[in-house]
Amino acid sequence: MLKGLFLSGAMFAASTAQAAQWQMFMPAGQAPNRTAWFIDRSSVRLVGGDKRAWFQMINETPDTKRIKSMKALIELDCAGKRSRFIAIEMFGEKGLLGQKETPADWSYSAPDSPIETLSQTVCTNNYGETITANASPDIMAQAAFETLDNRGRVKHRR
Protein backbone atom coordinates (compact mmCIF):
# COMPACT_ATOMS: atom_id res chain seq x y z
CA MET A 1 0.00 0.00 0.00
CA LEU A 2 2.73 2.46 1.01
CA LYS A 3 4.77 1.50 -2.07
CA GLY A 4 1.75 2.27 -4.29
CA LEU A 5 1.31 5.70 -2.68
CA PHE A 6 5.01 6.45 -3.12
CA LEU A 7 4.98 5.45 -6.79
CA SER A 8 1.78 7.42 -7.42
CA GLY A 9 3.27 10.52 -5.75
CA ALA A 10 6.54 10.14 -7.65
CA MET A 11 4.65 9.84 -10.96
CA PHE A 12 2.57 12.94 -10.07
CA ALA A 13 5.70 14.96 -9.22
CA ALA A 14 7.64 13.79 -12.28
CA SER A 15 4.85 14.72 -14.65
CA THR A 16 4.81 18.30 -13.31
CA ALA A 17 8.60 18.83 -13.15
CA GLN A 18 9.11 20.21 -16.67
CA ALA A 19 9.03 23.92 -17.50
CA ALA A 20 5.36 24.80 -17.89
CA GLN A 21 3.95 26.91 -20.74
CA TRP A 22 0.66 28.22 -19.37
CA GLN A 23 -1.88 29.64 -21.76
CA MET A 24 -5.32 30.97 -20.82
CA PHE A 25 -7.99 29.16 -22.82
CA MET A 26 -11.18 30.42 -21.17
CA PRO A 27 -11.97 33.45 -19.01
CA ALA A 28 -15.35 33.57 -17.28
CA GLY A 29 -17.48 35.52 -14.85
CA GLN A 30 -17.79 39.09 -13.65
CA ALA A 31 -15.55 40.92 -11.15
CA PRO A 32 -14.84 40.14 -8.36
CA ASN A 33 -15.82 36.53 -9.09
CA ARG A 34 -13.95 35.96 -12.32
CA THR A 35 -12.28 32.64 -13.12
CA ALA A 36 -9.40 32.02 -15.51
CA TRP A 37 -8.67 28.62 -17.04
CA PHE A 38 -5.15 27.73 -18.19
CA ILE A 39 -3.56 24.81 -20.03
CA ASP A 40 0.11 23.84 -19.83
CA ARG A 41 0.95 23.40 -23.50
CA SER A 42 4.22 21.63 -22.67
CA SER A 43 2.35 18.89 -20.77
CA VAL A 44 0.19 17.61 -23.65
CA ARG A 45 1.00 13.95 -24.32
CA LEU A 46 -0.49 11.17 -26.42
CA VAL A 47 -1.19 8.14 -24.20
CA GLY A 48 -2.67 5.06 -25.86
CA GLY A 49 -4.62 7.07 -28.44
CA ASP A 50 -5.90 9.65 -25.91
CA LYS A 51 -4.36 12.98 -24.96
CA ARG A 52 -3.36 14.05 -21.46
CA ALA A 53 -2.68 17.58 -20.30
CA TRP A 54 -2.36 19.62 -17.12
CA PHE A 55 -4.70 22.55 -16.62
CA GLN A 56 -5.42 25.07 -13.89
CA MET A 57 -8.52 26.93 -12.82
CA ILE A 58 -7.89 30.10 -10.80
CA ASN A 59 -10.67 32.02 -9.04
CA GLU A 60 -10.25 35.74 -8.50
CA THR A 61 -11.76 35.18 -5.03
CA PRO A 62 -12.21 31.79 -3.31
CA ASP A 63 -15.47 30.00 -4.16
CA THR A 64 -18.05 28.72 -1.67
CA LYS A 65 -15.85 25.68 -0.93
CA ARG A 66 -12.86 28.01 -0.19
CA ILE A 67 -11.14 26.87 -3.42
CA LYS A 68 -8.85 29.56 -4.82
CA SER A 69 -7.32 27.37 -7.52
CA MET A 70 -7.28 23.83 -8.86
CA LYS A 71 -4.64 22.00 -10.88
CA ALA A 72 -5.59 18.79 -12.66
CA LEU A 73 -4.25 16.21 -15.09
CA ILE A 74 -7.02 15.37 -17.54
CA GLU A 75 -7.25 12.62 -20.14
CA LEU A 76 -9.18 13.38 -23.33
CA ASP A 77 -10.75 10.85 -25.67
CA CYS A 78 -10.81 13.17 -28.69
CA ALA A 79 -12.66 10.73 -30.99
CA GLY A 80 -15.31 9.87 -28.38
CA LYS A 81 -15.53 13.46 -27.03
CA ARG A 82 -15.11 12.25 -23.46
CA SER A 83 -12.80 13.22 -20.61
CA ARG A 84 -11.72 12.06 -17.18
CA PHE A 85 -9.55 13.40 -14.40
CA ILE A 86 -6.36 11.50 -13.60
CA ALA A 87 -5.10 13.69 -10.72
CA ILE A 88 -6.47 16.79 -8.99
CA GLU A 89 -5.02 19.25 -6.45
CA MET A 90 -7.19 21.97 -4.87
CA PHE A 91 -5.75 25.04 -3.16
CA GLY A 92 -7.21 27.62 -0.79
CA GLU A 93 -5.80 30.93 0.41
CA LYS A 94 -3.42 29.09 2.78
CA GLY A 95 -2.30 26.22 0.55
CA LEU A 96 -3.31 22.69 -0.38
CA LEU A 97 -6.89 21.74 0.57
CA GLY A 98 -6.82 18.23 -0.90
CA GLN A 99 -5.72 15.99 -3.74
CA LYS A 100 -6.82 12.84 -5.52
CA GLU A 101 -4.75 10.63 -7.80
CA THR A 102 -7.24 8.01 -8.99
CA PRO A 103 -8.57 8.04 -12.56
CA ALA A 104 -12.23 9.05 -12.61
CA ASP A 105 -14.86 7.51 -14.84
CA TRP A 106 -15.18 8.85 -18.40
CA SER A 107 -17.79 11.59 -18.84
CA TYR A 108 -19.11 13.84 -21.58
CA SER A 109 -18.63 17.61 -21.30
CA ALA A 110 -21.49 20.06 -21.15
CA PRO A 111 -21.72 22.36 -24.19
CA ASP A 112 -19.73 25.60 -23.83
CA SER A 113 -18.16 24.40 -20.56
CA PRO A 114 -14.49 24.93 -19.70
CA ILE A 115 -13.80 21.19 -20.14
CA GLU A 116 -15.39 21.22 -23.61
CA THR A 117 -13.28 24.27 -24.53
CA LEU A 118 -10.15 22.56 -23.16
CA SER A 119 -10.96 19.42 -25.17
CA GLN A 120 -11.41 21.42 -28.37
CA THR A 121 -8.14 23.28 -27.75
CA VAL A 122 -6.08 20.15 -27.08
CA CYS A 123 -7.74 17.82 -29.60
CA THR A 124 -7.37 20.31 -32.48
CA ASN A 125 -3.92 21.60 -31.38
CA ASN A 126 -5.40 25.10 -31.59
CA TYR A 127 -3.27 26.94 -29.04
CA GLY A 128 -2.94 30.68 -28.69
CA GLU A 129 -0.18 32.76 -27.19
CA THR A 130 1.45 31.62 -23.94
CA ILE A 131 0.61 34.07 -21.15
CA THR A 132 3.40 33.14 -18.80
CA ALA A 133 5.96 30.38 -18.54
CA ASN A 134 6.51 28.43 -15.30
CA ALA A 135 4.75 31.01 -13.11
CA SER A 136 2.87 30.70 -9.83
CA PRO A 137 -0.95 30.70 -9.84
CA ASP A 138 -0.94 34.22 -8.35
CA ILE A 139 1.19 35.59 -11.20
CA MET A 140 -0.91 33.71 -13.76
CA ALA A 141 -4.13 35.08 -12.26
CA GLN A 142 -2.78 38.63 -12.21
CA ALA A 143 -1.77 38.37 -15.87
CA ALA A 144 -5.15 36.88 -16.78
CA PHE A 145 -7.33 39.29 -14.83
CA GLU A 146 -5.41 42.28 -16.22
CA THR A 147 -6.50 41.12 -19.70
CA LEU A 148 -10.19 40.85 -18.67
CA ASP A 149 -12.79 43.55 -18.25
CA ASN A 150 -15.13 43.55 -15.22
CA ARG A 151 -17.57 41.28 -17.07
CA GLY A 152 -14.94 38.57 -17.67
CA ARG A 153 -14.41 39.26 -21.38
CA VAL A 154 -10.97 39.67 -22.93
CA LYS A 155 -10.13 43.35 -23.36
CA HIS A 156 -9.43 44.43 -26.92
CA ARG A 157 -5.86 45.53 -27.54
CA ARG A 158 -5.39 48.87 -29.23
| Contact by Cβ (8 Å): 133, 44 | no
pLDDT at 126: 78
**Topology (CATH level 3) of domain 2-146:** Lipocalin (2.40.128)
Q: pLDDT tens-digit profile of 2-36?
A: 344 333 444 444 444 568 888 888 776 676 778 88
Q: What is the dihedral of CA 41, 92, 74, 21, to 10 degrees?
A: 10
This prediction has a pTM of 0.73
